[in-house]
Amino acid sequence: MVVLVTGANGQLGQALQNVSQSVSEIRFVFTDSKTLNITDKENCFTVFEQYQPDFCINCAAYTAVDKAESEPGLAHKTNVVGVKNLAESCKKHNTTLIHLSTDFVFDGEKKTPYSEVDIPNPKNVYGLTKLEGEQTIQTLIKKYYIIRTSWVYSESGNNFYKTMLRLASERESLNVVNDQIGTPTNANCLAKAIIDIIQHTTSSIQPAYGIYHFSNEGTCSWYDFAKKIFELNKIRITLNPIPTSSYPTPAIRPKYSVLDKSKIKTAFGIQIKSWEESLQELVLTYNK
């Protein structure tokens, strides 16, 4: 079985490379923007023709949330046009597409976790283009899994975890927003869940295609997340909670974006760790 991965240099792409080493029955083909530029339709068709993948995991995306407000065309090119190219390639080769989406498709006005049946209402350009990408997939193909996730971090790439460690080495105090509530997601946990879905699909008579939510369990603010990062890394720093209004950004963030994981746990029997436990695992591995 061949699994083609786009955006292999990103956080999830690198996590999949790590996790895939223990999966012998799958041949993974990892590509970056140089070997597979999803915005180039002919390039997509050529790569799919070469590898004839059974699955395609799309980790390629425009993820610069604030820059997207001033670069909507670039965000749309990758998150919508690029996704369309992949969906058409998947349709041509009977490939199942596993596409990563985001909690930012929601407006954050709820007070309880968002389920897959809640109506999206993105408040920023990034979230809008990710939603349009989802809709493009649903229009073009039937064999797909759209996985919405949130607050992804890992030991590689650019993310909140690494930013906090860097800032702590430069400053004696930090201000962190405490009124945006969500759930951190360890990229390695997400990678393992995706491989579980692939394995479940190949052994199922009727695969449960559709939209799913995945993050680690529990809820916290960015302030809580930062506090736990410093605690586990034994870093002493003055941490000040501040409201979003004190830290304005070009893109509006959801105030509440906790995801309900009931559907993915039921459909695939996936066990999900708490965000604290998965963070501790990363810290222990990272600090070896």
| Cβ atoms of 26 and 191 closer than 8 Å | no
Calculate the alpha carbon distances from 45 to 75, 82, 146 in Å. 22, 12, 21
152, β-bridge pairs? 185
- What amino acid occupies position 119? I
Q: Which helix (H) or strand (E) holds 99?
A: strand 96-102
264-283 burial: b if 16+ Cβ within 10 Å, else e: bbebbebebbebbebbbebb
Active site residue 126: yes
Q: Which of 105, 210, 204, 200 is closest to 147 using CA atoms?
A: 210
* Catalytically annotated residue among 51, 114, 126, 256: 126
Give the number of other Cβ atoms within 10 Å of residue 207's Cβ.
Answer: 15
Catalytic residue ranges: 126
